[in-house]
Structure 1
Amino acid sequence: MWSFDRHYFVKRHKQLLHHNHLLDLHLYLSFQSRRRSFSRHQPLQSPNQNNHHLIIMSEGQFKKDFQIPVADQKPPGVQKDMKGPTPQNEHLPTEDGGFHLYKAAGKLEGKKAIITGGDSGIGRAIAIMYAMEGADSLIAYLEVEEEDAQETKKKVESYGRTCHLLQVDLKKKEDCQKVIDTALEKMGAINILVNNHAYQNMVEDIKDLTEEQWEFTFATNIHPFFYLSKYALPHMKQGDTIINNASINAYIGRPDLLDYTSTKGAIISFTRGLHNQYVGRGIRVNAVAPGPVWTPLIPATMNHQAQKEFTSPIGRPSQPSEIATCFVFLANSDSASISGQTIHANGGVVVNG
């Protein structure tokens, strides 16, 4: 049996964004086969809900014919509500998210960072690791994520750094401008811009993908990357950097996330184009394309057995802290010769591109 918290999902149905990657709840599709064979949706019965559906995933991520409930089809999940078995054996320790394994070296001392979707998941891990390396941050998030954001702030400040909180709707370009203005007001500079937020809603067939959802996904997932970068760059200088959170889906073309996958492909192209504009001015632009990651989205959408089967070629999903190390690397001078590139932190899926 699988548990379903009706109150939780009704509340989360109003959520517009989730993070990163938070994203990609069943990411690893067999890269050796391009069948990507998905069954038609079948009804999943439960005592509280009769209209939820399941998906039969292809071999390569889950056991053949393993059924995975998709609750409300778009629950981003929040860190405070993570339920279900916490990974312990095959995964990194989760008591502190694996951060105690990370050895900081002051590589971002004095830097000022903006992190969208920094309240939970990968965004939170980035904020914490940036703090461990000496950086202050401003995180942008939605009102419904306030409790998670406060927890992130507390964790960042435990490392002696400052974390500014800002509730915004990044679909609005004026709110993107507000992020930049607030960062300059509170921190005095912008050295690192991490575009991390995103939205997804699973739809199996293009015939069922509404024009409204298509436009909403693009307005959320790629337009703010443009506005935030456009408004931030006049205040950035040589040695500063922009890092965009993309997805393995940009490369494998996941069929039930057509709009989301399309925006992630756009992010890769945006990264390369913006790099070509600014690399000669000493400002680097790169991307990270995560695979399966243990984030709030997973227990929000999968039953306990499915969580145990959520994996990658290395035998487990990544922890957000493992993905965040890529963002640390791309933000400091160790990666000074890297720009216009994408790091594939996907647990072992071979990507050529």
Structure 2
Amino acid sequence: MAATAQDPRAGRPTGVGAQQQDAQPGLTEPMGPSPDHGEQSWVGRDRLLGRRALITGGDSGIGRAVALAYAREGADVAIVHLPQERDDAAETVRLVEEAGRRGTAVVADIREEQQAVDAVGRAVRALGGLDVVVLNAGHQRRREGIETLPVEEIRRVVDTNLVGHLVVAREAVPHLAPGSSIITTTSIQAAEPKPALLDYAMTKAAQVAFTEALADELGDRGIRVNAVAPGPIWTPLIPATGFADEEIEEFGQDTPLGRPGQPAELAGAYVYLAGDEASYTSGAVLPVTGGKGF
């Protein structure tokens, strides 16, 4: 008997209650409902057997879901995280090791060039090389308007979302062989920017240009470069962004599917782009947006 297809509107939380975390980075433990990273649902099929993946921002949210899926697909995983995220990172490594793969956590603030350089080096040594690089670390804060936008906050967003990604990619590329893959986490904000996330949206649009340009550069070396563009996904980033309570309560309700997405619902895109099924896919942006256009 054929399995019944799941209604994409059902089976997941359709809303979240008002909640706040004081600042980025957000953490998983205080969130309600707890995000679904695929702990109970992701079934591996050895699609990434023997590969070695580095994931920045891999401690929670989308990064944890990708790390879990990669491990269950047969990959060893190194994650990069901030010092404040040690507990979340430890849980992600536990899930990777529970899947029977090697997991390692690297503490680094990739805004600092030397820390980003060292993070890649530590991942290469821990895993014995690299085959997949996921540029997923991100920072955002709600803005009240252009007149009050502080330069130090702009720099934090740009340095995390762009400069850090460039340095990690720069350091990783010499370790990548033909068949390797680089995947950037951009956002629906690159196509539908909201004023409250002005500087964040700018960096996400720039990540699309980065993806397309780097795919062009590395194509003749057999290295594919792609991006995933999430829509409203329930991760620690959201309650720690500074949104008003009513904005959080309405989070994801404006999608055609009528709900926010869960991190586990992104994992398949990253598995596809890292694997051989995507051998002719490069320079692409894969939207996972609940029906929002990109």
TM-score grouping bracket, smaller chain normalisation: 0.7 to 0.9
Where 1:100 maps in the other structure, the secondary structure is coil
Q: Identical aligned pairs, as a percentage?
A: 38
- Structure 1 pair 233–79 and aligned structure 2 pair: CA distance change class (3 A): same
Contact 2:19 2:239 in 1 (8 A): no
Which of 211, 232, 246 is the matching residue for 1:271? 211
Q: In the TM superposition, what whole-angstrom CA distance separates every residue of 1:118-172 from its partner, at most 9, and x where no partner exists?
A: 1100000000000000001110001111011111111111110111011111001
Alpha-carbon distance in structure 1 between the residues aligned to 2:250 and 2:143:
24
Q: Report the 3-state secondary structure (helix = DSSP H, G, I; strand = E; otherwise coil) of the residue aligned with 1:198.
A: coil
Name the structure 1 match of 2:98.
158
Map 1:1-353 onto structure 2 (within 5 A). Answer: 72=22, 74-83=23-32, 85=33, 97-299=37-239, 303=245, 306-307=248-249, 310-311=252-253, 312-351=255-294
Query: Normalization by structure 2: what TM-score?
Result: 0.87
Q: Which amino acid aligns with 1:79?
A: T
**Counterparts in 2 of 1:239 and 1:205: CA distance versus 1, 3 Å:** same
Q: Is the partner of 2:214 in helix, strand or coil? A: helix
Conserved? CA contact 2:27–2:60, under 8 Å: yes
- Local SS of the residue matching 2:288: coil
Cα distance, 1:307 vs. partner? 3.5
Q: Distance between the aligned counterparts of 1:131 and 1:255, measured in 2?
A: 38
User: Conserved in 1, the CA contact under 8 Å of 2:256 and 2:290?
Assistant: yes
Given the superposition, is the C-alpha separation of residues 204 and 68 from structure 1 closer, same or farther in structure 2, using an over 3 Å criterion?
farther
What is the alpha-carbon distance in structure 2 between the residues aligned to residue 126 and residue 81 of structure 1? 21
- Residue 68 of structure 1 and its aligned partner are, at CA, apart by 7.0
The 1:71–1:185 alpha-carbon spacing in structure 2 relative to 1, beyond 3 Å, is: closer
1:77 is aligned with what amino acid? G
Contact 1:241 1:331 in 2 (8 A): yes
* One-letter amino acid matched to 1:186: A
Residues 80, 147 of structure 1: 8 Å contact kept = no
Match of 1:79, SS state, is coil
Shift of 1:76: 3.7
Task: For 2:27, give the aligned amino acid.
Answer: V
Shift of 1:80: 1.8
What TM-score does the superposition give when structure 1 sets the normalisation length?
0.73
1:340–1:116 Cα change, 3 Å: same
The answer for the alignment partner of 1:8 in structure 2 is none
CA offsets 1:183-237 (integer angstroms, 9 cap, x no match): 1211111100000011111113111112222222111110011111111111101
- List per-residue Cα deviations over 1:250-281 (Å, max 9, x = no partner): 11121111111111111110010000001121
Contact between 2:55 and 2:135, CA under 8 Å: does it hold in 1?
yes
SS in 2 for 1:199: coil
Is the 2:65–2:263 Cα contact (8 Å) retained in structure 1?
yes
Structure 2: 5+ residue runs without aligned partners? Answer: 1-13
4+ residue stretches of structure 1 with deviation over 6 A?
A: 67-71
Contact 1:118 1:141 in 2 (8 A): yes
Where structure 1 has 5 or more consecutive residues not aligned to the other structure, the ranges are: 1-61, 87-93
- Which stretch has the larger CA shift, 199-208 or 282-291? 199-208
Take 1:230 and 1:295, find their aligned partners in 2: how far apart are those partners?
Answer: 28
Supply the distance in 2 between the matched residues of 1:331 and 1:241 (Cα, whole angstroms).
6
Mark the structure with the bigger radius of gyration.
1
